[in-house]
Amino acid sequence: MKDTLNSKPKALFQLFEPQLVGQIITNILEACKDIARLSDEGYRWISKRNGFDANCNREDFITDYQSSLNLRNNILVYEHANIHCNQTIPEIDLPYYQQQCVIYRQILDQLKANPLEYRQKGQVEYFFIEFRWCAGNDMHQITLCSNKGTVSVNADKQFLLSLANNIHSHLQESEALINKQS
């Protein structure tokens, strides 16, 4: 009779081979430029990340990102949810989850190092803004990336509320002007 008390449980997930890791990273970065280039393997990987829809097939995913979404921006937005490995998972599967976090972080590093290189095909972007919460305090980092360079500032909640109110006010003024001209 087999001693089941002393046998080790088997991991549910296997680590990816280094070649597959490289292929996924390359494919996701290519898909940020042109979502139609998203491979089956790239789709299977990204659809398992927090913030990405796993309830559709690859073709529907591509259609959504061609028409209304931006893969690069979504990867940046869901950074916090995807780079922290949950330490409460079974220890046997922890290496797999840690590897997935490393893959996500490597993609992020490339997107941030070359922000204008990974623009979606057909998309004109003069600039984009990233908001990042700084762990351990109530500060947020605001980064403006443009073709002229990148600038970051730290801001507290009051500054962000003031900025949001100013933007809202300017949008209302613009809308009123447009309506007046119609």
Phi, psi torsion values for 111, nearest 5 degrees: -65, -40
Closest by CA position to 107, among listed 24, 4, 3:
24
46-62 pLDDT, tens digit per residue, is 999 988 877 789 999 99
Is the pTM higher than 0.75? Answer: no
- Output the average pLDDT for the chain: 80
What are the boundaries of each domain within the chain?
12-122
Confidence of residue 19 (pLDDT cuts 50, 70, 90): very high
Angstrom CA distances, 3 to 6, 9, 15, 111, 119, stand at 6, 12, 27, 50, 56
Q: For the ranges 74-78, 89-93, 115-119, 168-172, which has the lowest average pLDDT? A: 89-93
122-154 pLDDT, tens digit per residue, is 655 556 666 666 656 677 777 776 666 667 778
Average pLDDT over residues 85-113: 84
Contact 143, 152 (CB under 8 A): yes
